[in-house]
Structure 1
């Protein structure tokens, strides 16, 4: 089977969803060629996908322009979707040419409405899989603006051109889509390790992972107080030397998923990848809210149903005045109750529908 998969690079969440699905598919059926369309750097893409593939380094969708990891640029979002609507025929034609070039038997999308329209025009089976869709994210920011309804309806129509949209929990409402197929969560999980021993720390000791996702969100730790018997693991860019009770996670030679699976607490923002990885690991969360992100209420409600999940303020994160929150959160680790079986659900459905030669 020849597979073409378009993946948004709006942070790491879409890669975190796509990687288990592609892996499951490669384990279940012979893949003659795999093409990944994504504007992630080749090295980043290779980190998520070990199976041999061809990389089309082309943006799949407009996404949502951001000022930083927490703040959307509403005006730029509106302008970009205006331009996409105006250029829609030409953009679809370019995608059709890409699909003709690779001649796939199956198109997967996370999460490009124009890709499913191009696939439908060429009569190629196409399925979306995601926890959100850009139509309802756009509507959350731009409803009420001139011709916003026309843009929304066009996006929904293109999403509905796919043979199905696998909706990954925790998901936002998708009232404009008519081809939804609900499955279980999708994520990768880590392995059990004794990180305290590996890092040569004295017990009792708490490990707190600080992971703000794939978009930059600078934090100045220089004014943070020392936390008793606590080490923070930070993987973001930091221009100064980290304080003594911090370790840079990228220098530890320990996979991020293993850190997530074995740490006592994670400090993060609401986002599919980290939230679901934490839920499937039983890891407690302190989160910095994004407030206006349309998907956020459903992410938080789902997370609070599955594991410990409490809000912190930007001021507390800035000053490090989190002793009480960290102390309480570190005692809340639970046995995970969420099983990430969504990739299996998706591939089961694909194989039953397409009936390819094994």
Structure 2
């Protein structure tokens, strides 16, 4: 009996949107190909990956990309990012050769990346079929922030990243996503998200809340950052669902990490999502019919595409960053709580990509 095929998956640890895009595909692929062996390589926490990916997989802590170094959930540290890329690419050819050797030692039959470029480059050197998927690519992001002409290495690095993506058999660009017009292998695919179950009655009983109270789920997409919640407004009948690191800073806050509910189900059971523009946050909210109050990061190149899509397919309002910090957003919160509902999005892109991978 032949050994099962081995899919090696690279998932960027820069925020949780990459996991949110990848997990539904792997779950659907496992349904189609239960014998498929999957190894997930990522710097994202293994516990988070296992909470989202229900297919069996081996985990390897690995860095396939730099992402961008963030000074907060909303702010890129450009100089630290540039330094990290310079170090990562200092001996790029040797790094790619080592990656090719590693993939061969793992016995990879296919490489699927969201959206680390080193595994793609290594696969290409090793002659292993490889596929990319994401709403962004790091070549465009790096060019946007770092290719300002101050260092000749920057354009070389951007070209090395782009070459890795261009060499993939296909680059599935999720909807919504950046245009990526400079990559000839880009193929658009429908929105991808796992949508939870609305369990509001259970949640109210667990928290001893009345049916009239409103829940605001707060999530910054996995980017570590402490929010100034002590400044946030107190509104009658409004509670904030917050991560543990800041849930003790506001009298109306609840630590959602301690609740016996998945994040999907918490989102589907909330009245508002307060977040930054992020693929997972926006598409999961639109699929759950939950309105979004977002603090924009206008310098992030992916943001315009995400916002334009949510404005068309969901209910959303922008909150200025200074209002998020000083708590001056009670009016906006009340307004969005009263906004009329719209039809929910049905994200079905995961099945499409899973079918491709199963046949591939």
After TM superposition, give the deviation of residue 197 of structure 1 in Å.
Answer: 4.3
- Aligned position for 2:287: 280
Decide whether the 8 Å contact of 1:281 with 1:336 is kept in 2: no
1:222 aligns with 2:230: yes
1:8 aligns with 2:15: no
Query: Structure 1: which 5+ runs fail to align?
Result: none
CA distance in 2, matches of 1:265, 1:151: 40
Q: Which one of the candidate residues 33, 36, 56 is aligned to 1:52? A: 56
- Aligned position for 2:355: 348
Decide whether the 8 Å contact of 1:211 with 1:236 is kept in 2: no
After TM superposition, give the deviation of residue 333 of structure 1 in Å.
Answer: 5.5
Q: Which one of the candidate residues 162, 165, 176 is aligned to 1:159? A: 165
- Aligned position for 1:131: 135
Alignment of 1:1-358 (within 5 A): 1-145=5-149, 146-147=151-152, 148-194=154-200, 195-238=203-246, 241-332=248-339, 334-352=341-359, 354=360
Over residues 120-162 of structure 1, what are the superposed CA-to-partner deviations in whole Å (9 max), with x where a residue is unaligned? 2222111101000000001111232233333222211111111
Decide whether the 8 Å contact of 2:96 with 2:125 is kept in 1: no
CA distance in 1, matches of 2:106, 2:312: 43
CA distance in 2, matches of 1:309, 1:136: 26
Higher mean C-alpha displacement, 165-174 vs 215-224: 215-224
Higher mean C-alpha displacement, 178-187 vs 212-221: 212-221
Normalising to structure 1: TM-score of the pair? 0.93
Equivalent position SS for 1:83: helix
C-alpha root-mean-square deviation of aligned residues, in Å? 1.8
Higher mean C-alpha displacement, 99-108 vs 218-227: 218-227
After TM superposition, give the deviation of residue 314 of structure 1 in Å.
Answer: 2.5
After TM superposition, give the deviation of residue 196 of structure 1 in Å.
Answer: 3.4
After TM superposition, give the deviation of residue 33 of structure 1 in Å.
Answer: 2.0
After TM superposition, give the deviation of residue 295 of structure 1 in Å.
Answer: 1.0
CA distance in 1, matches of 2:42, 2:263: 22
Higher mean C-alpha displacement, 149-158 vs 175-184: 149-158
CA distance in 1, matches of 2:334, 2:277: 21
Query: Structure 2: which 5+ runs fail to align?
Result: none
CA distance in 2, matches of 1:48, 1:97: 29
After TM superposition, give the deviation of residue 242 of structure 1 in Å.
Answer: 4.1
CA distance in 1, matches of 2:92, 2:185: 22
Equivalent position SS for 2:248: coil
Decide whether the 8 Å contact of 2:24 with 2:53 is kept in 1: no
After TM superposition, give the deviation of residue 335 of structure 1 in Å.
Answer: 4.2
Normalising to structure 2: TM-score of the pair? 0.92
